[in-house]
């Protein structure tokens, strides 16, 4: 793969991650920042990122801090340099999965509340089945996550 193709492929990857992250409720710019950093082993300055994803400094500042809060990015500083650098966080993988597992848990809770509220027996049965199913699913997911993380030295 020559450099030209590699750059195009990288751009496609960044856009793709941008869309996926956007589907998860963040902004497209946050997704592109994340995608860009995923493809780099180095930390990048705010200015770097602004140039790479073609967005204003303001947006980059906003979104990097959000991603940091979510545990997706890490902030790196260097002696003798006032700038801030961002890189993919160690706990990134664990956090991404944890967030999605959390979504399942949220839905489970809502359904549980529903089955408490419902006055119709058939409805209660349907919602209870949903809750049971998700309990099952959640426990296997969490177990899978724990096991894998322990086996590979990944922190959650």
Binding site for a second copy (CB under 8 A): 6, 9-10, 12-13, 16-17, 20, 23, 25, 38-41, 88, 93, 96-97, 100, 103-104, 106-107, 110-111, 113-114, 116-120, 122-123, 126-127, 129-130, 133, 136-137, 140-141, 144-145, 148, 152
- C-alpha distances (whole Å) from 129 to each of 74, 106, 114 are 41, 16, 12
Q: Are 17 and 24 in contact (CB under 8 A)?
A: no
The least distance separating a second copy from the CB of residue 22, rounded to whole angstroms, comes to 10
Q: In terms of CB distance, is 9 or 78 closer to a second copy?
A: 9
Q: Is the Cα dihedral 92, 95, 97, 100 positive or negative?
A: negative
* Candidate list 64, 93, 108, 134; residue touching DNA; CB under 7 A: 64
Which residues does 98 contact at the CB level (< 8 Å), separation at least 6?
145, 156
């Amino acid at each position: 793969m020559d450099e030209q193709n590699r750059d195009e492929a990288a751009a496609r990857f960044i856009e793709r991650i941008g869309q996926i992250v956007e589907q998860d409720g963040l902004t497209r710019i946050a997704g592109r920042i994340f995608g860009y950093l995923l493809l780099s082993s180095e930390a990048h300055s705010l200015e770097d990122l602004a140039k790479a994803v073609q967005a204003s400094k303001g947006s980059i500042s906003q979104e990097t801090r959000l991603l940091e809060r979510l545990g997706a990015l890490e902030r790196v500083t260097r002696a003798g340099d006032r700038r801030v650098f961002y890189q993919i966080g160690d706990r990134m993988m664990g956090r991404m999965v944890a967030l999605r597992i959390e979504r399942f848990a949220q839905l489970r809770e809502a359904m549980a509340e529903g089955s408490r509220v419902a006055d119709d027996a058939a409805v209660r049965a349907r919602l209870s089945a949903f809750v049971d199913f998700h309990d099952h699913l959640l426990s296997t997911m969490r177990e899978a996550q724990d096991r894998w993380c322990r086996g590979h030295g990944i922190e959650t």
